[in-house]
């Protein structure tokens, strides 16, 4: 009997969502305790800032340009490598409970297995997971969670924010401030997807024999929009009590001044001339968003973060009760962050910044491993998760993995992390390449989207953590900028050929 692996992911959660990472609003004692008992990675960065590319990196251990999922509309190929399959081949029981999203989600025809399993009354196998029960951001009956909600008495599927209205994506506002994609949700807490994911995880663990090794990916759909946690929980964080987030410049004039120093699609999103089709609801204009709407969105987000933490605590208690506590490694992270008011913006998109790139990442090794807890400041990425699972399991790291195991002590050889973006829509045509190194973040723009390839961004994250001063054209930084750009180009892998096709928008 070896070490078990509980892999916990959230969706669209900021680094500072957790108390252990400086968060001061949401109470996250369970995640904070895991960080105190293990390794808290203070400079974890994703390889893409939207769901499908980031999640495909987690399951393959590869850069988006290698596995090919460069945008949400590109499904992960059926023959893509899977760390779940690799672990299963070495004797691990495997399961995924919650959000998968390696394949386009808004798939009413059931073209991809993720969107057929529930309708076929199947729980797998798929992509190396012998058991899957899937959920997304609401109770649509495409997934196991949605079907389950429809079966519950009371028609509570009507309570949630409806992602579609009249066959179109719903952009309606709600709550006290009419904030976008927000709703006061009367659903009973026990029917909300956060607790459902935890319940189904515990139910699957009950099917595992005491002496079997297991890899369980518990994947919460929150705190991704739409923001509609159970109304019974909203008094945890009264929105009127909140200040604007630290990354908000404080006024429309200040927002504009900061974004005037960035490449043009930043200010265009703020003004509404760039629709940000790939990161947020169409028709949303950040410049029209009020301060109170920012506060209410943040309050709902903090509530969702607290519910996740409590659900994780229940699952960890179940693991302990089954006698596995001493031999279970827990890794906690997310796919990408959320602008959440920074720069006066909301949602996500082709904006390479701390709010979207900087991730919570915690590894609490099994207590039986006897590690010395530490905060690790060296840069790490999502492609380092798959090889870490191999290390925990004591099995070979396959050659297709491009990352390396997360460090347990400071590792000076870890110098950089790379993030990339390629638009799925020809009307957008944005291509960003970013690298974090030496406390700086550099972003180059390849030709397209109105850029000729000479534009870029450069930030000193120690002196300017909110990225309000773009140093790209600063003569004093020209030599250092050119060094970073050369280093980025030297280390980014070659793109997959041929490029995969966009098959669905989300």
What's the pLDDT tens digit per position in 93-111?
A: 999 999 999 999 988 899 9
What is the Cα–Cα distance from 88 to 200, expressed in whole angstroms?
20
Whether pLDDT at 297 is above 90: yes
- DSSP character string of 17-48: GSGGGT--SS--HHHHHHHHHSEEETTEE-S-
Residue-wise pLDDT tens digits, 407-450: 999 999 999 999 999 999 999 999 999 999 999 999 999 999 99
Residue-wise pLDDT tens digits, 191-245: 999 999 999 999 999 999 999 999 999 999 999 999 999 999 999 999 999 999 9
SS (H, E, C) 210-254: CCCCEEEEEECCCCCCCECCEHHHHHHCCHHHCCCCCCCCCCHHH
Mean pLDDT of 133-147: 95
What rounded mean pLDDT belongs to the chain? Answer: 97
Mean pLDDT of 57-71: 98
Residue-wise pLDDT tens digits, 28-51: 999 999 999 999 999 999 999 999
Q: What is the model's pLDDT at position 116?
A: 96
Q: What is the model's pLDDT at position 166?
A: 62
Out of 267-281, 378-392, 448-462, pick the least confident: 267-281
Whether pLDDT at 168 is above 70: no
Q: Which fold has domain 4-138+174-410?
A: Alkaline Phosphatase, subunit A (3.40.720)
219 strand-pairing partners: 9, 98
Helix (H) or strand (E) holding 13: none
What is the Cα–Cα distance from 114 to 100, expressed in whole angstroms?
8
Q: What is the model's pLDDT at position 167?
A: 59
What's the pTM value of the predicted model, to 2 decimals? 0.98
96: which 2 tokens?
A: 């995924």
Out of 165-169, 393-397, 448-452, pick the least confident: 165-169
Whether pLDDT at 169 is above 90: no
Q: What is the model's pLDDT at position 106?
A: 83
Q: What is the model's pLDDT at position 171?
A: 83
């Amino acid at each position: 009997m070896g070490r078990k692996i509980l892999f916990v992911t959230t969706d669209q959660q900021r680094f500072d969502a957790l108390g252990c990472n400086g968060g001061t609003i949401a109470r996250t004692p369970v995640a904070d305790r895991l960080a105190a008992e293990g390794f808290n990675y203070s400079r974890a960065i994703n390889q893409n800032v939207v769901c499908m590319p980031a999640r495909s990196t987690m399951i393959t251990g590869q850069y988006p340009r290698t596995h090919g999922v460069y945008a949400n509309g590109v499904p992960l190929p059926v023959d893509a490598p899977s760390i779940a399959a690799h672990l299963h081949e070495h004797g691990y029981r495997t399961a995924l409970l919650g959000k998968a999203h390696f394949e386009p989600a808004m798939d009413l025809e059931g073209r991809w297995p993720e969107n057929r399993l529930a309708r076929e009354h199947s729980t797998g196998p798929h992509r190396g997971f012998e058991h899957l029960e899937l959920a997304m951001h609401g109770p649509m009956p495409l997934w196991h969670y949605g079907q389950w909600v429809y079966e519950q008495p009371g028609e509570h599927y009507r309570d949630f924010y409806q992602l579609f209205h009249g066959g179109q994506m719903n952009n309606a506002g709600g709550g006290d401030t009419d904030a976008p994609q927000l709703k006061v949700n009367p659903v009973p807490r026990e029917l909300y997807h956060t607790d459902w994911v935890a319940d189904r995880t515990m139910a699957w663990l009950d099917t595992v024999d005491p002496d079997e090794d297991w890899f369980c990916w518990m994947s919460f759909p929150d705190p991704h929009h739409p923001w509609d946690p159970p109304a019974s929980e909203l008094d945890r964080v009264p929105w009127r009590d909140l200040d604007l987030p630290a990354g908000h410049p404080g006024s429309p004039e200040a927002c504009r001044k900061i974004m005037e120093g960035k490449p043009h699609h930043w200010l265009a999103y703020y003004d509404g001339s760039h629709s940000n089709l790939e990161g947020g609801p169409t028709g949303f204009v950040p410049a029209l968003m009020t301060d109170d709407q920012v506060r209410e969105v943040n309050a709902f987000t903090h509530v969702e973060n607290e519910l996740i933490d409590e659900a994780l605590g229940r699952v960890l208690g179940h693991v302990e009760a089954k006698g596995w506590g001493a031999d279970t490694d827990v890794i906690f992270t997310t796919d990408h962050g959320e602008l959440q008011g920074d720069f006066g913006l909301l949602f996500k998109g082709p904006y390479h910044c701390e709010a979207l790139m900087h991730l919570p990442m915690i590894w609490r090794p099994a207590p039986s491993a006897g590690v010395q807890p530490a905060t690790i400041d060296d840069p790490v990425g999502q492609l380092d998760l798959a090889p870490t699972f191999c290390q925990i399991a004591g099995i070979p790291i396959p050659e297709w993995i491009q990352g390396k195991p997360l460090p347990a002590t400071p590792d000076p050889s870890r110098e950089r992390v790379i993030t990339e973006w390629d638009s799925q829509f020809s009307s957008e045509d944005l291509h960003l390449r970013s690298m974090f190194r030496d406390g700086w973040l550099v972003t180059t723009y390849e030709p397209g989207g109105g850029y000729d390839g000479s534009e870029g961004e450069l930030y000193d994250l120690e002196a300017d953590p909110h990225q309000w001063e773009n140093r790209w054209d600063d003569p004093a930084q020209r030599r250092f900028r050119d060094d970073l750009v050369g280093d980025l180009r030297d280390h980014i892998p070659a793109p997959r050929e041929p490029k995969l096709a966009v098959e669905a928008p989300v």
